[in-house]
C-alpha cells in the first residue's frame, strides 16, 4: 500500500514552490484574493493526490494543479478586456528590438501588457518566462501538444512586443 503522505514530506517537496503557485494563480486570476483561494485549493488537492506524484519536478506538478484550479475558477467569468485580434494580424512581425528593450524597464507598462494577453497565451508566457519550464513541462501542465505551446509562446511574445512598442495598442480597446 502507498504510504499516506506526511505533511513534512509534502511541505519540503511541494510547498517550497508556493511562490511559483501564487505567481501563476495571480497572473491567471489577476486578483490577489482569487489567487490566494486558488492556491489554497490547489495545495489541498495536491496533498490529497500526493501519492500519485511520480517524483519528477514537483514545481511543474503543483503548477499543473494550480492551472487546472484557476481554469475552473475563471470559467464563467468574462475576460476583463479582450484584445482586438485584428490589431495583431495587421502588425508585421518586424518589431524593433531596441524599442522593446526601451520599454522593458517600465514595469508598470510590462505588467499591463501581460495582463492584456488572452489567458491561454498568458499561461504559456508565465510558465516559460517566469518559471523557466521546458516546452515539455508546459505541454504537460496545460495538457496541450508541444506544437501548441510553441505557437502560443510565439503569439504571446509577438503581442507583447507590439503592446510594448505601439503607443495605441492599449488605448483602442473596447
Partner 1 sequence: MNCRDVGELVHAYVDDELDIVTARQLDLHLRECSHCKDSLESVRAVRTAVSNPAQYYKAPPELRVRVLAATRALSANAVHLPSLPTAFGSEAQARRGEGRGEGNLEEGRSTYALTPTLSRRQARSPQIWWGVAVAAAAMIVLAFGLFFTLQGQRGNPVVAEVLTAHLRSLQPGHLMDVVSTNQHTVKPWFDTHIDFSPPVRQLAPDFPLVGGRLDYLENRPVAVLIYKHGDHLINLFIWPGDSGQSFAAQRGFNFVHWTSDGMTFWAVSDLAGPDLNRFSQLFQSAPAPATRN
Rg (CA), the chain: 18
Stretch that binds partner 1, among 67-75, 81-89, 166-174 (CB under 8 A): 67-75
Q: Does 88 bind partner 1 (CB under 8 A)?
A: no
Q: Does 56 bind partner 1 (CB under 8 A)?
A: yes
Give dist(CA 158, CA 164) in Å, integer: 10
CA angle 46, 48, 53 (to 5 degrees): 60
Q: How far is the CB of 146 from partner 1 (least distance, A)?
A: 5
Distances (CA, A) of 49 to 7, 8, 71: 13, 15, 18
> SS3 for 9?
helix
Q: Does 16 bind partner 1 (CB under 8 A)?
A: no
Residues 92-151 that bind partner 1 (CB under 8 A): 93-98, 100-101, 103-105, 107, 110-111, 114, 125, 128-130, 134-136, 139-141, 143, 145-146, 150-151
Contact 151, 44 (CB under 8 A): no
Q: Does 43 bind partner 1 (CB under 8 A)?
A: yes
79/112 with CB nearer partner 1: 112
Amino acid at each position: 500500500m502507498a504510504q499516506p503522505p506526511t505533511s513534512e514530506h509534502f511541505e519540503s517537496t511541494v510547498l517550497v514552490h508556493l511562490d511559483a503557485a501564487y505567481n501563476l494563480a495571480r497572473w491567471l486570476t489577476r486578483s490577489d484574493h482569487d489567487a490566494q483561494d486558488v492556491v489554497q485549493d490547489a495545495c489541498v488537492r495536491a496533498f490529497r493526490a500526493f501519492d500519485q506524484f511520480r517524483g519528477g519536478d514537483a514545481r511543474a506538478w503543483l503548477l499543473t494543479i494550480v492551472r487546472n484550479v484557476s481554469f475552473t475558477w475563471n470559467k464563467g467569468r468574462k475576460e476583463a478586456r479582450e484584445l482586438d485580434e485584428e490589431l495583431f494580424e495587421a502588425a508585421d512581425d518586424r518589431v524593433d528590438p531596441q524599442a522593446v528593450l526601451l520599454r522593458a524597464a517600465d514595469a508598470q507598462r510590462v505588467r499591463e501588457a501581460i495582463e492584456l494577453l488572452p489567458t491561454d497565451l498568458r499561461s504559456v508566457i508565465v510558465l516559460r518566462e517566469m518559471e523557466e519550464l521546458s516546452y515539455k513541462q508546459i505541454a504537460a501542465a496545460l495538457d496541450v501538444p508541444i506544437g501548441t505551446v510553441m505557437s502560443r509562446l510565439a503569439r504571446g511574445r509577438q503581442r507583447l512586443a507590439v503592446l510594448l512598442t505601439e503607443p495605441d495598442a492599449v488605448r483602442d480597446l473596447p
